[in-house]
Amino acid sequence: MHNKYGDEIETSLAQLGNSYNGLSGKSGDDFGEGKPYITYVNVYQNNIVNESMVGYVKISDGEKQNTVHYGDALFTISSETPQEVGISAVYLGNKKDLYLNSFCFGYRLHHFAVLNPLYMPYCFSSCKFRKFVYPLAQGSTRFNLHMPHFLNKKFKIPTPQNQLKIWNVLNSLSEKLRLEKQISVALKLQKAHLLKKLFI
């Protein structure tokens, strides 16, 4: 049961959905061609999965492997530092037959009534959530995420209405930042072109 605290809801990932494993039973010879899969680097570098950053893996007809669906959150399981454990990216695409690398696990909501997939990338990459994950990394030379604690530990999220409001603001800022970067690159190219003509 989810507990309400004013404009926040206290819940756990175990209450909201289920986890699933990435690719299993694969060797190096299976990679390089076949079906697309989301790489570890893709999850590590993006809070929203970049559909152009995929690898390829051979999947036989009838082979049982988990596929990634819209709204799934993908988390890194282990790393050499505790700060890099539980890094996540959310898949907001609709590709079929899309798989997940074996060094991450997937998480799928039962429904979208409590947690909005659009808000999830910002939620799971926030400082608040990172502080929530950090103590759950266990190990000495290599750190692994303690799954039962991770899934069952309580945390707070805004109400669905406020999640959408937060997403609208952050998404607008992200889009503005993306456009500013594009303008910056274009101006640098223009400057280089003008300087080249100046010294010809």
Reported as a single tens digit per residue, the pLDDT across 25-39 is 999 999 999 999 999
Answer whether 11's CB lies under 8 Å from 113's CB: no
Quick: pLDDT tens for 105-163.
999 999 999 999 999 999 999 999 999 998 898 888 889 998 999 999 999 999 999 99
Q: What is the DSSP pairing of strand 31-38 with strand 99-100?
A: parallel
Give Cα 131 to chain centroid, integer Å.
17
Q: Over the chain, what is the mean pLDDT?
A: 91
Residue (of 128, 136, 133) closest to 156 by Cα position: 128
Percent of the chain with pLDDT over 90: 68
What's the angle, vertex CA 161, arms to CA 6 and CA 152, rounded to 5? 65
Reported in sequence order, the residue ranges of 110-172 that DSSP labels E, i.e. its strands, are: 137-139, 143-145, 155-158
Residue 108 confidence (pLDDT):
98
Per-residue confidence band for 80, with pLDDT thresholds at 50, 70 and 90: confident
Sequence ranges of the domains in the chain:
3-157, 159-200
Residue 59 confidence (pLDDT):
95
Stretch 64-78: mean pLDDT, rounded?
A: 96
Sign of the torsion angle spanned by Cα atoms 126, 144, 48, 53: positive
pTM of the predicted protein model: 0.83
Residue 200 confidence (pLDDT):
62
Kindly state the tokens that stand for 13: 């990932």
Answer whether 97's CB lies under 8 Å from 66's CB: no
Task: Mean pLDDT check: name the lowest of 81-85, 127-131, 174-178.
Answer: 174-178
Per-residue confidence band for 12, with pLDDT thresholds at 50, 70 and 90: very high
Higher model confidence: residue 14 or residue 176?
14
State the amino acid at position 193 in one-letter form: H
Residue (of 84, 86, 65) closest to 21 by Cα position: 65
pLDDT at 21 over 90: yes
Stretch 59-65: mean pLDDT, rounded?
A: 93
Give the CATH fold of the 3-157 domain.
Adenine-n6-DNA-methyltransferase TaqI; Chain A, domain 2 (3.90.220)
Q: SS3 of 25, please?
A: coil
Answer whether 116's CB lies under 8 Å from 164's CB: yes
pLDDT at 65 over 80: yes
Over its C-alpha atoms, the chain yields an Rg (Å, rounded) of 20
Residue 187 confidence (pLDDT):
86
Per-residue confidence band for 3, with pLDDT thresholds at 50, 70 and 90: low
